[in-house]
């Protein structure tokens, strides 16, 4: 059979992205992957401003597509389909991508394939490592935190997830509380490496509960209180105080994720998968303490651990093109009535 070549578009949050991916025997081949970030655009506001994001996506998405095709050395005529994130996400941004993809489909006659952004993340281990279904997926980013058993390109069983903040969001808020630069994950991790995780014993919410749900907002409040107490007592934070707070905070997140992952793996392993695999994706998967914590649990339970390279863990269009390939290869596609959906649970 001929290998499918698919263009993917992504614009659901603060990255405008386009990529060309070609189907392969083992996973797939990324012919190009272009990401225009918007970090600077939103930096003064302490978060993504939806209206600004949408305008920037609308301005950049076509340039991004042109660049992705150019880098792949292809034209629209070489493609088999156009895949686009149709949700969930900030609706203005999702619309910019969907309208661009519809324009391409209408002009060229190429099939249009709508992709769920979360499915894009969740299928990435198949793109990079040709992992077989069923595998357990932990999505941990600034916006997501959930356990999924991936059974097929569009079949996911959600075992649980955060009931409040996502871990990346917690890292970002922790950085704000301690006066460290954004994004908070890398700066808190760097400080934590110099600190003592035992000095501040921060809470590990929901560990007593026999499910796969997580909570991180109480941890942030506890960090705020610990900081305020030091400031009241000593008039300010020393470098050591800050490092110890970061270390205690990160350790609490590592412990919660390790413990809940053990529980989720227990449920997944009941299905006796031939090759049990835990895959992680999302920006927080960059954290080496968290990775080590997860690897330890996996080694303990005889489960293979895999994490895509970081640039495929964070938002990108290669994962959307690949998820499009999986849908299209099963004979599925959309027409020009494809809707952009702000909410779209897997």
Binding mask 138-177 for ligand KG4 (x = CB under 6 A): ---xxx------------------------xx-xx-----
Closest-CA residue to 194 (of 254, 253, 248): 248
CB of 320 to Zn ion, least distance (A): 10
Stretch that binds ligand KG4, among 19-27, 44-52, 135-143, 233-241 (CB under 6 A): 135-143
Whichever of 16 and 333 has its CB closer to ligand KG4, that residue is 16
Whichever of 93 and 276 has its CB closer to ligand KG4, that residue is 93
Structure tokens at 5: 């070549």
Going by the DSSP 8-state scheme, the letter that residue 90 receives in this structure is: -
Binding mask 185-204 for ligand KG4 (x = CB under 6 A): xx--x---------------
Phi, psi of 343, deg, nearest 5: -120, 135
Residue 99 and residue 59 in contact, taking contact as beta carbons nearer than 8 Å: no
Binding mask 285-324 for ligand KG4 (x = CB under 6 A): -xx--------------------------xx---------
For residue 140, say whether it is annotated as part of any ligand binding site. Answer: yes
Binding mask 301-320 for Zn ion (x = CB under 5 A): --------------x-----
For residue 79, say whether it is annotated as part of any ligand binding site. Answer: no
Whichever of 277 and 313 has its CB closer to Zn ion, that residue is 313
> Does residue 77 sit in helix, strand or coil?
helix
> Does residue 114 sit in helix, strand or coil?
strand
Residue 317 and residue 33 in contact, taking contact as beta carbons nearer than 8 Å: yes
For residue 189, say whether it is annotated as part of any ligand binding site. Answer: yes
Whichever of 191 and 315 has its CB closer to Zn ion, that residue is 315
Structure tokens at 24: 């392969």
Closest-CA residue to 177 (of 249, 122, 115, 105): 249
Strand order in the sheet with 145-152: 155-161, 145-152, 135-140, 277-281, 304-306
| Residues that constitute the known binding site for Fe cation | 117, 121, 315
């Amino acid at each position: 059979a001929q290998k499918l070549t698919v263009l993917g578009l992504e614009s659901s949050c603060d990255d405008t992205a386009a990529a060309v991916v070609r189907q392969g025997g083992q996973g797939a081949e990324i012919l190009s992957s272009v990401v225009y970030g918007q970090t600077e655009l939103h930096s003064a506001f302490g978060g993504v401003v939806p209206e600004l994001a949408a305008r920037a996506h609308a301005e950049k998405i076509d340039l991004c597509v042109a660049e992705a095709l150019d880098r792949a050395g292809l034209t629209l005529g070489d493609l088999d389909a156009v895949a686009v994130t149709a949700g969930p996400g900030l609706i203005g941004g999702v619309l910019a991508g969907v309208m661009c993809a519809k324009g391409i489909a209408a002009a060229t006659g190429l099939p249009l394939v709508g992709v769920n952004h979360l499915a894009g993340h969740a299928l990435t281990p198949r793109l990079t490592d040709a992992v077989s279904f069923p595998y357990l997926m932990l999505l941990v980013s600034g916006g997501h935190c959930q356990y999924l058993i991936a059974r097929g390109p569009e079949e996911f069983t959600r075992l649980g997830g955060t009931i409040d903040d996502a871990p990346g969001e917690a890292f970002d808020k922790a950085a704000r509380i301690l006066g460290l630069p954004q994004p908070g994950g890398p700066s808190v991790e760097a400080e934590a490496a110099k600190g003592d995780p035992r000095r501040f014993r921060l809470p590990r919410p929901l560990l007593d509960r026999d499910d796969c749900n997580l909570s991180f907002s109480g941890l942030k409040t506890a960090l705020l209180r610990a900081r305020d107490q030091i400031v009241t007592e000593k008039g300010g934070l020393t470098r050591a105080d800050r490092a110890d707070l970061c270390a205690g905070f990160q350790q609490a997140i590592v412990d919660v994720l390790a413990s809940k992952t053990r529980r989720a793996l227990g449920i997944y392993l009941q299905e006796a998968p031939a090759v049990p695999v835990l895959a992680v994706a999302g920006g927080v998967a960059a954290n080496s303490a968290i990775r080590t914590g997860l690897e330890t649990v996996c080694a303990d339970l005889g489960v293979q651990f895999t994490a895509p390279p970081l640039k495929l863990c964070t938002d990108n269009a290669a994962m959307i093109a690949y998820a499009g390939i999986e849908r299209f290869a099963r004979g599925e596609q959309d027409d020009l009535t494809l809707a952009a959906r702000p909410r779209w649970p897997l």
